[in-house]
Amino acid sequence: MSTAAEFKIEFSDRLKSLPPYLFVEIDKARRAAIAAGREIINLGVGDPDQRTHQAIIDALKKASEDVNNHHYPFDAGVPQLRIEIAKWFKNRFGVELEPQTEIYPLIGSKEGIAHLPLGIINPGDKVVLTEPAYPAYQAAVTFAGGKIQYLPLKASQGFLPKMEDIENLKDAKAIFVCYPNNPTAATADKKFYQDLVAVCKAKGIIIVSDLAYSEVYYDGIKPPSILEVEGAKDIAIEFHSFSKTYYMTGWRLGWACGNPTLVSALAKVKSNCDSGVFNAIQYAGIAALNMDPRDIEDMRAEYQTRRDALINGLRSIGWKIDPPKAAFYVWAKLPSKFTDSMSCAKAFLDEADIVVTPGIGFGKAGEGYVRMSLTLPTERIHQAVARLAKIL
């Protein structure tokens, strides 16, 4: 019989198989630097710095005072929210969605992405992830017992996967795509989605599309939805977020939409794991979807000003970087003095008090790059450039 002193609790094998969550590790380093009295400029995690719009806050206040909302929420979402999402989607993408069967509200799109594989992936199923990629995809597939195959994204291909590589896949159950892309900020056009849908339908591959950055775009070039493609609803589910568009990262609200069976699988998993989004936050989401479009234009204009300030500033000190077409990230090849992204990020923090995200954290194909976020005021971006000028 073992004694209490011999008893040891260990993480599960699936948890052990995951690398440290990069953003947590970066935040630890940032907080340690601040605790040491250093003044840090954080270009790391992409968390909008702007205040949530007042109309959204007012809607939350009103709904939270309604005693009818002081209970378990509607797990399938307040009916009016799903109706408003359908209206927004029709106006933005020209696509009809059936509110009852093709839309499901989420506690943030990240939560939905984490739960979906549990509903569609069996242990040992092959799931294709492009790389570099948002780390949450890897964790979601791993927790479901899926076997991951990576498709490297290259600058020479515009950080889009080659269609012939997808055509050559064997026994793949699903593929994850994200455009506008995190971390590369690359965009995909409708032709890419048409080709992707055609290939995946022929091979029986489910498409999981992450469109969290759909409204953060520049120069008036709107990113499309995969659901604009004829036949996409047969095999695709798409994830959307209120976080980036409406400065609502901490509110945790998003939705999934598309193929009814895929939406239903996600809903069934969620019904066993959570009780849905607090109703008052759903009513705040309704207010967000009905905001004046000019407020969203102001958001895009602000990010474009910041993008241009960072790109032009870095070019002025000899760091040549192409400006992103969407998302609020700049994906930059390492300055010539650095050989790997971790040493670059460490030098930026140690020598310039600047936090950036090393590309290796998004997968092996992300090595050779760092990601910088535009979620800081333009003045701070200018300060960051001035600091980098001293060490580059």
Give 10-residue mean pLDDT values along the chain (392 residues): 73 85 76 90 90 97 96 88 98 98 97 98 98 96 97 97 96 98 98 98 98 96 98 98 96 98 98 94 98 96 98 96 96 95 94 95 96 97 97 92
Question: What radius of gyration do the chain's Cα atoms show?
Answer: 21
218-259 confidence digits (pLDDT tens): 999 999 999 999 999 999 999 999 999 999 999 999 999 999
As to burial, measured by CB atoms within 10 angstroms (0-12 exposed, 13-18 middle, 19+ buried), residue 78 is: buried
Q: At what angle do helices 54-64 and 279-289 cross, to 10 degrees?
A: 150
pLDDT the model gives residue 33: 86
Structure tokens at 52: 């949530």
pLDDT the model gives residue 26: 75
Q: What is d(CA 217, CA 52) in angstroms, rounded to the nearest whole number?
A: 19
Angle at 253 between CA 274 and CA 22, to 5 degrees: 85
pLDDT the model gives residue 4: 59
95-133 confidence digits (pLDDT tens): 999 999 999 999 999 999 999 999 999 999 999 999 999
What is the distance, to the nearest Å, from the Cα of residue 344 to the centroid of all Cα atoms in its chain?
24
Q: What is d(CA 330, CA 35) in angstroms, rounded to the nearest whole number?
A: 28
Which string of DSSP letters, residue by residue, matches 130-169? EES--HHHHHHHHHTTPEEEEEE--GGGTT---HHHHHT-
pLDDT the model gives residue 16: 87
pLDDT the model gives residue 2: 54
Domains of the chain: 13-51+294-391 (3.90.1150.10), 54-289 (3.40.640.10)
Burial 270-282 (b: 16+ CB within 10 A, else e): beeeeebbbbbbb
